[in-house]
Amino acid sequence: MANLPEVISACMKDPALKARLVADPKKVLTELGVKVPDGMTVKVVENSSSVFHLVIPHLPAERLRTMSDAELAAAAGGWNPCRSLGTTEG
């Protein structure tokens, strides 16, 4: 087992595994083949019938930078076959 959906599925079928995961998530994830980076803390929470946990992923600072006009044009550009054929229509 090496991915989180499989770990979650296994915990739903095995209460003892879920209890171990809640008690020591990093150790159990490592045992199950999920790589946890050094220095990362793992917290396990469980939804209930009246509480839903919404997790907002961390966005690294370098992903928050704005695009230059040239980068934006390149990303949104697309290809116009009429232009590449030298016509003005399209």
> What are the φ and ψ backbone dihedral angles of 70, each rounded to 5 degrees?
-65, -45
pLDDT for position 66 = 76
pLDDT for position 89 = 58
9-34 pLDDT, tens digit per residue, is 999 999 999 999 999 999 999 999 99
pLDDT for position 63 = 67
More confident position, 87 or 20: 20
34-86 pLDDT, tens digit per residue, is 999 999 999 999 999 999 999 988 877 776 677 777 777 777 666 666 655 55
Range of the domain at 61: 4-84
Domain for residue 90, yes or no? no
Please state the domain count of the chain.
Answer: 1
> What are the φ and ψ backbone dihedral angles of 5, each rounded to 5 degrees?
-60, -35
Please provide the DSSP assignment of 36-67 as one string: --TT---------SS--PPP-----GGGSSPP
pLDDT for position 86 = 57
